[in-house]
Amino acid sequence: MVLLIAAGVLAYLFFSQRDTGSSDVLGETAESSARAACTLIAQVPEDGFDMSAENNFPEVDRLAAAEALAYLAKDQDDQYAGLYTAIAEPRQVSVAMFAADTPEFAESLARANDACAEIAD
């Protein structure tokens, strides 16, 4: 499922109209990819969520899409490698523990948000 979401995000970025004259087009620059990833990661509840609840699939999707966008940013510019690592961690923790309402998840999410705060400066 994660690969399907990532493929969808990347396909959208690849096929979206790029001739807009704006550098704010999602995925056109490493910065726009990084900012989009951070926007998604900021929407994940700080205290986590119950992964087994049927209505929490959007949270799982946000984590996966944020990771895919952060990877794109890293691929476009190596300066975003640390951001990718930080943003990938919450999804990896949640998958490893099959839980996103643990202290480990909250700590990894805080690190991701901290990394995003650094690029905003």
Give the model's pLDDT for residue 79: 97
**110 near 91, Cβ under 8 Å?**
no
Q: List the alpha helices (DSSP H) in the chain.
A: 2-15, 30-42, 57-76, 81-97, 103-120
Distance between CA atoms of residues 45 and 22, nearest Å: 31
**AA letter at 81:** A
Query: Burial letters for 52-67: b for 16+ Cβ neighbours within 10 Å, e otherwise?
Result: eeeebeebbbbbbbbb
Give the model's pLDDT for residue 21: 47
* Low-confidence stretches of the chain (pLDDT beneath 50): 15, 17-22
Give the model's pLDDT for residue 83: 98
Neighbours of 107 (CB within 10 A): 13
Give the model's pLDDT for residue 12: 54
Give the model's pLDDT for residue 72: 96
pTM of the model: 0.79
Give the model's pLDDT for residue 14: 53
Give the model's pLDDT for residue 35: 96
* Placement of tokens 């309402």 in the chain: 101
- Please write the tens of the pLDDT for every residue from 61-80: 999 999 999 999 999 999 99
Give the model's pLDDT for residue 4: 56
